[in-house]
Amino acid sequence: MSSVRAEVIEAPAGFDVDRIREDFPILRELVHGKPLVYLDNAATTQKPQAVIDALVDYYTHYNANVHRAVHLLSTRATEACDRAREKARKFMHARSTNEIIFVRGATQGLNLVAQSFGRANLKAGDEVLVSGLEHHSNIVPWQMLCLEKGAHLKVVHIDDSGVIPLADFEAALTERTKVVALAHVSNALGTVNPIAYMTELAHRVGAKVVVDGAQAVPHMPVDVRALDVDFYAFSGHKLFGPTGIGVLYGKQALLDAMPPFEGGGDMIRSVTFEKTEYNTLPYKFEAGTPDIAGIIGLGAAIDYVNQIGLDRIAAYEAELLKYATHVVQQLPGVRILGQAPEKASVISFVLEDIHPHDIGTFLDQLGIAVRTGHHCAQPVMDRFQVAATTRASFAFYNTVAEVDALVAGIRKVQEFFA
């Protein structure tokens, strides 16, 4: 689908969405005989040819295990993983590759922090502060930890626009707060949290800040040093890379002091039945054969995103979101959930008298993929007293024409159920 109405938004200089779309083979697919309009990017993103090629290249030409053998293929695979770690370091602006732990995804990264840092540092009566807009993956690991330790899980709730009131946040911090766990961007509402400021407040009471960046890294430049966060996790598959791979950033001093998360190969320096000496960072936290293809694919995804430029991506998506919000808002009986002034390219909405599931099935028949449901954020749904929403989430390859297709589709649903 070409962006026939591209003139209604102002794309940043040098940003050619039609050209970019050619990099994504799946965007040429037909769904139910219609061109695919993929608006479920918050769930997972599509992969550019460069990422697919990197996976095929590894499996075709140098598939081997890493760190284990002296043969050429193993050397090449090991070097490719090392290069990918360096790309991830640069991408996050971390000081050292020792601070870049490869994990399965944001979920595993957050669990690693809860299980390793949390278990070693929390005691009964301590507090973990989470926000009301968290994904289940940044709630449940902390709940489990608090249950085990007799600590308290405190929640700072969101207001009607989907924003965490900063005064409430500040008031919730006490000298007992050991961990503050926050999403950088909400997957259900799109709200962008002012992480740098919140981190500053949290550090004043001595709490460590753990950020779930799953929805931030695909949409904006992230600098963990500027934010000064203690931990930051994201998933490769939401960044145009493969599934099964993600990154946990942690400040080196903290990671050094933490016990390992899992035991096994690669995470050890020497093993006897009496004693095991753990490996250095980052390997201490990477037990077992890693997802080598995934790591290489993630490296390719980072290269791809860098080549377009996250600043340009953010600028284009801001325009697209503004346009989409404008046209969706004009639909009769629509209510958009999440109207934060700082918002990533997500529109979560409900229609009067039409259930999201029916909307989802209808749109699917038109080739339009959206997410319907609670988005793994049931507390957010409860906050707005809905069971589910329909969510359109955009990436830089989406177009104005696709937004128009979405709105036309919703109008058809409304006509049908009128």
Ligand X SMILES: Cc1ncc(COP(=O)(O)O)c(C=O)c1O
Residues within the interface to other proteins (CB under 8 A): 32-33, 354-358, 361-362, 365, 372-374, 378, 381, 387-388, 416-417
Site string for ligand X, 55-94 (x = CB under 6 A): ----------------------------------------
- Which one, 114 or 351, has the nearer CB to other proteins? 351
**DSSP three-state, residue 393:** strand
The distance of closest approach from Cβ of residue 234 to ligand X in the complex, given in angstroms and rounded to an integer, is 8
The distance from CA 265 to its chain's CA centroid, rounded to whole angstroms, is 28
Based on the shown chain and the rule CB under 6 A, indicate whether residue 239 belongs to the binding site for ligand X: no
Measure the CA dihedral 298/300/303/308, to 10°. -100
Least spacing, CB of residue 257 vs ligand X, in Å: 25
Q: Is 379 helix (H, G, I), strand (E, B) or coil?
A: helix
The CB density around residue 120, as the number of other CB atoms within 10 Å, is: 10
Round to whole Å and give the CA distance between 244 and 229. Answer: 24
Question: Of these, 23, 212, 291, 317, which contacts ligand X (CB under 6 A)?
Answer: 212
Instruction: Closer to other proteins by CB, 320 or 388: give it.
Output: 388
346 lies in the binding site for ligand X (CB under 6 A): no
Task: Say whether residue 137 binds ligand X (CB under 6 A).
Answer: yes
Active site residue 376: yes
Residue 179 near residue 142, CB atoms below 8 Å: yes
Q: Strands 334-337 and 346-351: what pairing?
A: antiparallel
Rule CB under 6 A: choose which of 122, 183, 217, 354 binds ligand X: 183
Euclidean distance between CA atoms 152 and 171, whole angstroms: 16
Minimal CA–CA distance to 97: which of 116, 84, 107? 84
Catalytic entry in 376, 378, 386, 407: 376
d(CA 253, CA 346): 36
Residue 56's binding partner among ligand X, other proteins, none (Cβ under 5 to 8 angstroms by kind) is: none
Which CB sits closer to ligand X, 210 or 308? 210
- Cβ 410 to ligand X shortest distance, Å: 23
Residue from 9, 85, 88, 105 touching ligand X (CB under 6 A): that is 105
Smallest distance, Å, CB 260 to ligand X? 20
SS3 state of residue 167: helix
Q: How far is the CB of 10 from ligand X (least distance, A)?
A: 28
- The item of ligand X, other proteins, none sharing an interface with residue 214, based on CB under 5 to 8 Å by kind, is ligand X
CB of 260 to other proteins, least distance (A): 34
Residue 258 contacts residue 314 (beta carbons within 8 Å): no
> Quick check: 187 binds ligand X (CB under 6 A)?
yes
Strand 37-38 and strand 368-369: the pairing is: parallel
The one segment of 20-28, 103-111, 158-166, 302-310 that binds ligand X by CB under 6 A:
103-111
Best CA proximity match to 41, nearest among 353, 376, 393, 300: 393
Residue closer to other proteins by CB (options 171, 408) is: 408
**Dist CA 181 CA 117 (whole Å):** 13
54 Cβ neighbours under 8 A, 6+ residues apart? 296, 297, 299, 300
351 binds, among ligand X, other proteins, none (CB under 5 to 8 A by kind): none
Q: With CA atoms as reference, report the closest residue to 8 among 320, 377, 387, 408.
A: 320
Helix (H) or strand (E) holding 407: helix 400-417
Q: Which is nearer to other proteins, 272 or 385 (CB)?
A: 385
Least Å from the CB of residue 108 to ligand X: 7
* Interacting residue ranges for ligand X, rule: CB under 6 A: 42, 105-107, 135, 137, 183, 187, 212, 214-215, 235, 237, 376
The residues annotated with a catalytic role in the active site are 376
